[in-house]
Structure 1
Amino acid sequence: MWYNAGSSYSKVYVRQEKSPLANLNFRGLRLTPPKILSLGFVLLIAAGTLLLCLPAASTAGRISFIDALFMATSATCVTGLAVIDTGTQLTTFGQVVLLVLFQFGGLGFVTMATLITLVLNKRISLKERLLLQESMNQHSMQGIVLLIRRVLIYSLVIQLTGAIVLAVRFMADMPFARALYYGLFHSISIFNNAGFDLFGDIHGPYSGLTRYVEDPIINFTSMVLIFLGGIGFIVLSDVLEFPKRKRLTLHSKVVLTTSAALIVLGAALFFWLELHHTLKPLHAGGKVMASFLQAITPRSGGVTTIEIPLLRESTQFLMILLMFIGAAPGSTGGGIKITTFAILIATVYARVRGREDIILFRNRISKDNVYRAITMTLLSLMLVVMATMLLSVTESADFLSVLFEAVSAFGTSGITMGLTTELTTVGKVLIIVLMFVGRTGPLTLAYALKPKKNKELYRYPEGDITIG
């Protein structure tokens, strides 16, 4: 695009450099930010599928299209469910493809495109700022580019630190170069809540982190990475700015408080339910570490140190509830989100106390946010119920395993009771859809597909319905 920058005596034409994000606004398609976000994930999944279909990606020579699509979707949507073992059935090339996909999927392709824009010193237009605002779940464009810069810096520092710590620990078990690769891969995977691991090549297919159940370095590093990736970049930025600003936003207070409550309550319940079962062989410290990691990881982490099929049914159902709640908005996790859950609890509390206003930290929550939370929860619940019913027909497994798989896919948790590798082709397609919707969000997908909103010209008379 060319601009006339001259006066009446002379004209100078200056070319405006466009950023990579500008190419997403296809002329004539009227792509809104939600549609662009959904389309971006589709394009990432398509590219990943094609790369994983290449013979160079598989140790067996070639991956079937449906398996490649499943793995690409799982990586892009940072889920972690795998129909093939990452450590034994993928080559280094295939593993790097997954790594790139869950790095882009975790931080968001818009954020990564912004990184390219900033590196190339290109201008970010108004439309692109609107897209960034949507991708980060912000209410305003003010400071959005600064927030993205912080997100990129914080993410890089956290993942690099995690990679160094894990690599040093892995050096005790493997050669130096391999330890560095494993440290980098698992740090990025765990921080982005992807849940993929390479230990199948060492401890057997689909072994995960079960051999490190009592390892304090692996456990503590994993919990910190999952937590930092799951609270959201908005909260992370707010916390790091706290020494200067001396205050936290309402959003950060709700996310941090609710996260802490869910972690402590989840760990306590897990410890109580499994104390004389799966935790029995472990020493006291191992029992505590295992309880806390298993309380944190369902909220979209995807890595476990306890074999999920061996847990009690009550514990498995507890993990289903935690997976459905998920992580914070603007994070690498899925689920209905912590803030949605907090608003629902506050709404119930207010109605039970007979109060009109919904209050959180001495702030009144708008009715629009309450309606949004209820809508998100009901849409998510209906989606999980429908998927569970269909999977119950297509798969030969007990109901709890099917429900666990459906919620894990929707919450992008990546934990399984062993059903993933036994899924039929129809079952794989259903799980792919659940992972995609769980990552993009039911409301975002609904807004992306909805028709243009028309102004209502009239209102119906108010009616009364008996409740309860």
Structure 2
Amino acid sequence: MKLFTKRLTQTQMIVLGYCLIIFIGAGLLMLPVSTRDGVATPAVDALFTSTSAACVTGLVIADTFQYWSLFGQSVILVIIQLGGLGFMTIGVCFAILLRRKIGLWTRGTLQESVNIMQVGGIVRLAKKIIIGTVFFEGLGALILAIRFCETMSLGKAVYFGIFHAISAFCNAGFDLMGGHGAYSSFTPYYNDWVVNLVIMGLIVIGGIGFFVWNDISIYKVSFRRYSLHTKIVLISTFILIFGGAALLFFFERNNTIAGMPFDDKILCSLFGSVTARTAGFNTVDTAALTDSSKILTSILMFIGGSPGSTAGGIKTTTFVVLLIYVHANLRKEMHCKIFGRRLDEGSIRKASAVLCINLFSVILAVLVIVTVQPVAITDAAFEVISAIGTVGMSTGITRDMETISKIVLIFLMYCGRIGSMTFALSLRGHKVEPPVKLPVEQIMIG
């Protein structure tokens, strides 16, 4: 086994590690004990649910509360936690507890897994990730349990608090609100400020990235001393959340939030903007959104959260880097600059590659789905973007998908979690670029 792992690149190790989690989870979910009715779940449906949990997406083929038993729900919750933090992070922390030596290859794989820029201090960061996760999930679970105690028994309230705190922090989107109606999500709590703020807080904290956590823990509120990465993440996250909320409020004022008190409209709009950033919960009917809101939500889902986090999407930094690159070209500037710093050319190339790969994946997936079954292209596009962005928001067509369409979504969720670039690089192996440069010849562009 050691010889086999040493032959793998670090990206291949991550790709295979997530595959292992997914297939083990699917095997457990296929067992009759995993469902309320005691019947075995079809292999494709079990694989779909396991992938959705491991890739912290939230797309489901059946209501989580109504279909899965307590054992099945527990399996899903464990897979969510493993997928959200990354198996390498948890593995390294177990190695620390067992006082095992952590080699350079393992440190490099962990660096690749959490998408950190340097390998130095990676073990200390892993400790911070685990401690921070336990703290935030524990605090969120406690507050939610206290709130749920008003309408549930103590045991059920504690269980619901833990499940939804982990699901929200990991940006997974799985919920147990099916007792209020299948696929209801948090619509019964659309005007509950405590539940909404806790869920939104956990989503944002889990989605800004572990490197940002580290910066904030070291420099506290001194924005000037933050790294360029942290500055970009915090500013872009703020703009996307509140800008998205303002637009959703405007688009839905005469639709899903019509007739609500003004503060409830604000809350629903804010929740819709936050959850579209790869969380997947909803407090209003997603299928009933206006076309404008669906387009806006799709954009937010496609952008997603930030690198090295529990979120998906092309990431906020990718989006900002591309905007800066376009701006620099329009102004005919030689370099891309922001916050008094010049962006690395490699970052610009990687951002362009990520955008192109994800866009081509979305287009191809939509083409396949609308070919194999009669669904509206807008609904298919919404579902595909939700899958590759690991969001989990749905217009309701996922549970009616054909087997081929489910397999397409499974692949998109998988690539969305490990990263489209990571998956592409895993196929490259150990190839080294030859030290030969070909002659340059210009072509016409645009």
TM-score band, normalised by shorter chain: over 0.9
- Per-residue CA deviations over 1:87-140 (Å, capped at 9, x if unaligned) read 011010000000000000000000111121122122111111111111121222
The secondary structure found in structure 1 opposite 2:342 is: strand
Report whether the alignment pairs 1:290 with 2:276: no
Alignment of 1:26-425 (within 5 A): 26-27=3-4, 30-61=7-38, 62-200=40-178, 202-243=179-220, 247-425=225-403
- Per-residue CA deviations over 1:336-357 (Å, capped at 9, x if unaligned) read 1111001000101111111110
Rounded to whole Å, the distance in 1 between the matches of 2:3 and 2:277 is: 36
Rounded to whole Å, the distance in 2 between the matches of 1:179 and 1:395 is: 41
The 8 Å contact of residues 5 and 13 in structure 2, kept in 1 or not, is answered as: no
The 8 Å contact of residues 214 and 282 in structure 1, kept in 2 or not, is answered as: no
Aligned partner (choices 432, 439, 444) of residue 410 of structure 2: 432
What is the CA distance between 1:395 and its match in structure 2?
A: 2.5
Q: What is the one-letter code of the residue matched to 1:370?
A: I
Say which one has the larger Rg.
1
Task: Show the counterpart of 1:452.
Answer: 430
Rounded to whole Å, the distance in 2 between the matches of 1:339 and 1:458 is: 32
162-171 or 457-466, larger mean C-alpha shift:
457-466
Q: What is the one-letter code of the residue matched to 1:115?
A: C
The secondary structure found in structure 1 opposite 2:364 is: helix
Q: What is the one-letter code of the residue matched to 1:147?
A: L
What is the CA distance between 1:244 and its match in structure 2?
A: 9.1
Rounded to whole Å, the distance in 2 between the matches of 1:452 and 1:132 is: 18
Rounded to whole Å, the distance in 2 between the matches of 1:112 and 1:157 is: 16
Q: What is the one-letter code of the residue matched to 1:443?
A: M
What is the CA distance between 1:360 and its match in structure 2?
A: 1.6
Rounded to whole Å, the distance in 1 between the matches of 2:3 and 2:26 is: 23
The 8 Å contact of residues 170 and 183 in structure 1, kept in 2 or not, is answered as: yes
- Per-residue CA deviations over 1:440-460 (Å, capped at 9, x if unaligned) read 111101111114333435333
The secondary structure found in structure 2 opposite 1:72 is: helix
What is the CA distance between 1:29 and its match in structure 2?
A: 6.2
**Bigger RCO of structures 1 and 2 (CA < 8 A, at least 6 apart):** 2
What is the CA distance between 1:396 and its match in structure 2?
A: 2.0
Rounded to whole Å, the distance in 2 between the matches of 1:131 and 1:244 is: 31
Alignment of 1:9-20 (within 5 A): none
Q: What is the one-letter code of the residue matched to 2:342?
A: R
- Per-residue CA deviations over 1:16-39 (Å, capped at 9, x if unaligned) read xxxxxxx6x543761111000000
Cα 1:118–1:452 change in 2 (3 A) is closer
What is the CA distance between 1:145 and its match in structure 2?
A: 0.4
Rounded to whole Å, the distance in 1 between the matches of 2:29 and 2:216 is: 39
The 8 Å contact of residues 56 and 94 in structure 1, kept in 2 or not, is answered as: yes
Unaligned runs of 5+ in 1: 1-22
**What is the aligned-residue identity percentage?**
38
75-84 or 110-119, larger mean C-alpha shift:
110-119
The 8 Å contact of residues 249 and 269 in structure 2, kept in 1 or not, is answered as: yes
Q: What is the one-letter code of the residue matched to 2:367?
A: M
The 8 Å contact of residues 169 and 217 in structure 1, kept in 2 or not, is answered as: yes
Unaligned runs of 5+ in 2: none
Rounded to whole Å, the distance in 1 between the matches of 2:221 and 2:199 is: 29
- Per-residue CA deviations over 1:224-254 (Å, capped at 9, x if unaligned) read 0110011011111211222398721111001
The secondary structure found in structure 1 opposite 2:7 is: coil
What is the CA distance between 1:60 and its match in structure 2?
A: 2.0
The secondary structure found in structure 2 opposite 1:378 is: helix
The secondary structure found in structure 1 opposite 2:270 is: helix
What is the CA distance between 1:436 and its match in structure 2?
A: 0.3
Cα 1:439–1:255 change in 2 (3 A) is same
Rounded to whole Å, the distance in 2 between the matches of 1:90 and 1:167 is: 21
The 8 Å contact of residues 437 and 445 in structure 1, kept in 2 or not, is answered as: yes
- Per-residue CA deviations over 1:151-207 (Å, capped at 9, x if unaligned) read 11001100000000100110011101000000000000010000000110x201111
Rounded to whole Å, the distance in 2 between the matches of 1:425 and 1:247 is: 51
The 8 Å contact of residues 358 and 420 in structure 2, kept in 1 or not, is answered as: yes
